[in-house]
Structure 1
Amino acid sequence: MDPAVAFSLPALVVLTLSFVILLSYLIRRISSTDAKTPPGSSGWPIVGENVHLGILGPPKFIKKRMEKFSPYVFKTSLLGEKMAFFCGPQGNKFVFTNENKLLTSWWPKSVTKVLLFTEVIDENQKVVAPLLANSVHDILKPEALKQYVSTMDSMARHHMETDWAPYDEVKVHPLSQKYTFSLSCKLFMDEDDNDKVAKVLKNFNIVTNGMISLPLDFPGTAYNRAIKGGKVLRGGLLKIIATRRKELMENKETTRQDVLSKMLLVTNEDGKLMSEKEISNNIIGLLVASYETSSVAITFILKHLAENPHIYDQVRKEQMEIAESKQPGELLSWEDVEKMKYSWNVARESLRLAPPGQGAFREALTDFTYAGFTIPKGWKIFWNVNTTHNDPKYFPNPEKFNPSRFEGSGPAPYSFVPFGGGPRMCPGKEYARLEILIFMHNFVKNFKLEKLNPKEKIVYRSTPVPAEGLPVRLNPHAKN
């Protein structure tokens, strides 16, 4: 064969393929420009804008793009996905009122792969943990939570005695993590073995630190560590679940009131029990919802109380009136918690300034229009708290800590959204309220605090946290 011909054949193939690729690219560009998608930036190839988000943190990242592109909606690329950020109360309202119509819940694969047994998830649900069992929802309802107030108070008292009182100086965030995780393990699994809880907590922290990250599964990356930690975490939970199931089968009856025990007895429409992997997914979903966000909320509440002594004094006054109405050793009741109105306003103002959850993901079920822009089917949506919580239009002097904002009718609708809204409002809102208020009661009853580093920075992981864990000096109150 003529060498020139032999050379030209592969060259022709390469040129043809190149032309086809270029043509398909141009067609996609033309079709994408025909649809007026939101303005924004896709960032760098592969990594998108993950680096920018990590460097700036969510509040600054979002503020800069709202100013540059649109105050209503802008596009970006995060976690390997095209994504539209919805902004302001109007954006929050649109997302919350279009659940299961235009939008459905969605979580990154980096989260589901790390946390869950994905083989037992219904792909149509596209949620982190499909809370299928009614028993899971039941424990989070106010009427069910009433029976757990005394347990929460008892554990908070013990926590103060063992982890706070013996020390002059402590780091608030790790202690808050220990408390909220221990409480979750007790109420959800009736597990109070300190060694078991500590082991699960260690792996849980590895997982939460790496699950919202670029899914690069290479040795040394946060995501790689999270995957390994997730395997250990799920393995440990399966052992706990299997042991409990064996106990139930042997005893036939149980007096336990925790979620795990109830879920082991729940059957679906076909009369089948939930598998141990399905139960594990549900328990992990509850732990994610109840542990990390609550520990961060408690950490920032104590931070703001340390920074605002006059507000601390008012919280303590309210809590001491409740404490002095009790008999020696008598535990708190639901009615006592209902009296903690000023304390809850303080907690809500802290949640406004330092929301533990930054928002949540959705996926577009179909093409739709919002604020004059087209959101294509399959695009991911992120609603977030940062576009309203610090907006002076809704919160005058937004940097000032002012619990009176929540008196009377409170903030404008859809402007204060630490628990989300609509059909997917956080089901653990009432649980979080009890956990936070009971902790506040026990803390201010025993201590006043002083920050050791007034200039400590806030860093963003899966949630915002003080870079040094919020080291404080404790000043115990004199016992009466």
Structure 2
Amino acid sequence: MEAIAAYFLPLLLLPFSLYLFSIIRRSGSNDQKKLPPGSPGWPILGENIRFSLSPEKFVSDRMSKHSPEIFQSSLHGEKMATFCGAKGNKFLFSNENKLLASWWPQSLRKVLWFPKITDSDTNVDSTYNRILHRDVLSPEALKKFVPVMDALAREHMERHWKPDSVVKILPLVKKYTFELACRLFMSVVDPVRVKKIYEPFSEVTKGVLSVPVDLPWTAYRRAIRAGEVIREELMRMVEQRKKELNEGVGEDEERDFLSKMVMLRDEDGEFLSEKEICNEIIVMLLASYDTTTSAITGVINHLAQLPHIYNEVFKEQMAIAESKGPGDLLTWDDIEKMKFSWSVARESLRLMPPAVGAFREATTEFTYSGFTIPKGWKTFWTVHSTHKNPDCFPEPERFDPARFKGSGPVPYTFVPFGGGPKMCPGKEYARLELLIMMHNVVTRFKLEETIPNEKIVYHATPTPVHGLPLRLHPHCE
């Protein structure tokens, strides 16, 4: 027995000793600094588990316990300062590229991307952003996307949304948003090829923000393996596109995002490598798929739950449908008429935001609200400190599209797309996708809940437990 105890006792004491050492070292190095209140949580794991189970509860509990302005925690293996409220949002958004820089957790980078093969990402990022804002998400490009989105939505409805049937909305919307992204950004329309990327992408989104434990039975390990499959398939696509462009195939066609990335040179005059292009394509697919899927599912859920809201949306959308000829696709002008529908979508985004916030890294030490944020600490802004805060939105649990009339909410309180220089560049893309799907759903069907008030859990985005099964009732002629 003594021999066994002598063997196991050091193993049991080692984690505690390391934890105690880290506390002593941290307190010693920060004696002269007033750090934000809070707790780092468990050794190694930090507070990842609590955060992943319910980001909203995580934030609200710590705002109540520590401070309504700022608190510290440990997420993704990093010391994290979470800024709260409109004041905190404004501070972070206003100090992008001054005190703060973009930052992605290492666990997420490991799942999604090839390791960076250059010493600096600056050239790649600036090239990517230039193409994104000028050629892909500019007003001119978005106007061209509208009829394409509508045509695919109609095709998707014909294939999958059968009248007088019960359908699960979440998986159907996932298929639509992913097919659309593949078509618009890479001109991939072959269902077999889309499926090769779609299936592993689903595994990635399930595990990308799970507890980053790389063991065979974990969601994180499955996400890593799925990420490898995605990168392999995308590498084949990039190589094939390079070959086609070099041979002059499709010279007279308008180039999509993939072709523009293949042909464009960075600021040093060098072509991007295949791996760099794959990394940027993955960013586009992730941004245009998971959060948009959640946003559309949330809107449809609220339309099914709230008949009086549905009726007003139906009137607006039918007026647009009746103004068009048989077979005419939606246009940008039609989208601009969807005023009430967009207010409904925004209220849904307030109550069920697809993204919880974003991380940044402090590039220099600074103070906020009397607390020191050391250089190298990570920061986090979150929708959950304002979206359901009664000081920002009276009766926050009530669904009220009228909140967005006139000038709308107070600045920095409604932040589903972030703000400042790093505001989500896909905001307008998401708006189009939301409104076009709303149009196609409500002009075809009345929606009946089969599981009233279905529970919503968090798996990277808010997710209905049963996939949101609804009964589709066709409108009487």
- Distance of 1:147 and 1:456 partners within structure 2: 37
Pair 1:37–1:133, CA change in 2 (3 A): closer
Match of 1:363 in 2: 361
Q: Retained in 2: the 8 A contact 1:131–1:282?
A: no
316-325 or 24-33, larger mean C-alpha shift: 24-33
Pair 1:328–1:228, CA change in 2 (3 A): same
Pair 1:345–1:24, CA change in 2 (3 A): closer
Among the aligned pairs, what percent are the same residue? 57
Cα offset, 1:132, TM superposition? 2.2
Q: Any idea what the Cα deviations from partners look like across 1:315-360, whole Å, max 9, x if unmatched?
A: 0100111111101001111111110010000000000000001000
- Distance of 1:371 and 1:28 partners within structure 2: 21
Q: Retained in 2: the 8 A contact 1:107–1:126?
A: no
Cα offset, 1:251, TM superposition? 2.1
What is the one-letter code of the residue matched to 1:169? Answer: V
Give 3-state SS (helix, strand or coil) of 1:369's partner: strand
Match of 1:397 in 2: 395
Pair 1:317–1:268, CA change in 2 (3 A): same
Structure 2 counterpart of 1:111, from 99, 108, 111:
108
Q: Retained in 1: the 8 A contact 2:163–2:473?
A: no
Pair 1:121–1:109, CA change in 2 (3 A): farther
- Distance of 1:23 and 1:202 partners within structure 2: 44
- Distance of 2:123 and 2:31 partners within structure 1: 29
Q: Any idea what the Cα deviations from partners look like across 1:175-212, whole Å, max 9, x if unmatched?
A: 01000000000000000111211221111111111111
- Taking the TM superposition and a 5 Å limit, the aligned residue runs for 1:290-369 are 290-369=288-367
Q: Any idea what the Cα deviations from partners look like across 1:440-465, whole Å, max 9, x if unmatched?
A: 11111101111111142111111111
- Distance of 2:21 and 2:317 partners within structure 1: 70
Cα offset, 1:218, TM superposition? 1.0
Match of 1:100 in 2: 97
Match of 2:201 in 1: 204
Structure 1 counterpart of 2:423, from 416, 422, 425:
425
- Taking the TM superposition and a 5 Å limit, the aligned residue runs for 1:8-157 are 26=24, 28-55=26-53, 57-120=54-117, 123=120, 132=128, 134-137=130-133, 138-157=135-154
The answer as to 2:414 corresponding to 1:416 is: yes
Pair 1:28–1:382, CA change in 2 (3 A): closer
Cα offset, 1:419, TM superposition? 0.3
- Find the structure with the greater CA-based Rg: 1
Structure 1: give runs of 5+ residues left out of the alignment. 1-18
After superposing on structure 2, the runs of 4+ consecutive aligned residues of structure 1 that deviate more than 6 Å are 21-25
- Distance of 1:393 and 1:121 partners within structure 2: 47
Q: Any idea what the Cα deviations from partners look like across 1:399-430, whole Å, max 9, x if unmatched?
A: 01100100011000000000000000000001
Pair 1:40–1:130, CA change in 2 (3 A): farther
Q: Any idea what the Cα deviations from partners look like across 1:208-261, whole Å, max 9, x if unmatched?
A: 111112322111111111110000000011111111121111125240432112
Match of 1:438 in 2: 436
The answer as to 2:219 corresponding to 1:222 is: yes
What is the one-letter code of the residue matched to 1:189? Answer: M
What is the one-letter code of the residue matched to 1:176? Answer: V
- Distance of 1:352 and 1:409 partners within structure 2: 16
- Distance of 2:358 and 2:142 partners within structure 1: 25
- Distance of 1:121 and 1:381 partners within structure 2: 26
TM-score (norm 2): 0.92
Structure 1 counterpart of 2:158, from 158, 161, 171:
161
- Distance of 2:296 and 2:44 partners within structure 1: 37
- Distance of 1:261 and 1:455 partners within structure 2: 45
Q: Retained in 2: the 8 A contact 1:115–1:230?
A: yes
What is the one-letter code of the residue matched to 2:302? Answer: H
Pair 1:121–1:303, CA change in 2 (3 A): farther
Give 3-state SS (helix, strand or coil) of 2:470's partner: strand
What is the one-letter code of the residue matched to 1:172? Answer: I
What is the one-letter code of the residue matched to 1:339? Answer: K
The answer as to 2:167 corresponding to 1:170 is: yes
Q: Retained in 2: the 8 A contact 1:99–1:423?
A: yes
Give 3-state SS (helix, strand or coil) of 1:336's partner: helix
Structure 2: give runs of 5+ residues left out of the alignment. 1-16
Cα offset, 1:165, TM superposition? 2.3
Give 3-state SS (helix, strand or coil) of 1:120's partner: coil
- Distance of 1:22 and 1:290 partners within structure 2: 44
- Taking the TM superposition and a 5 Å limit, the aligned residue runs for 1:139-288 are 139-165=136-162, 168-251=165-248, 253-288=251-286
Q: Retained in 2: the 8 A contact 1:130–1:282?
A: no
Pair 1:455–1:398, CA change in 2 (3 A): same
Q: Any idea what the Cα deviations from partners look like across 1:351-376, whole Å, max 9, x if unmatched?
A: 00000010000011111111111111
Between the two proteins, the alignment pairs up a number of residues equal to 459
- Distance of 1:29 and 1:23 partners within structure 2: 10
Q: Any idea what the Cα deviations from partners look like across 1:120-153, whole Å, max 9, x if unmatched?
A: 36556599x7762632222112222111111011
Q: Retained in 2: the 8 A contact 1:133–1:266?
A: no
Pair 1:30–1:226, CA change in 2 (3 A): same
Match of 1:3 in 2: none
- Distance of 1:254 and 1:267 partners within structure 2: 21
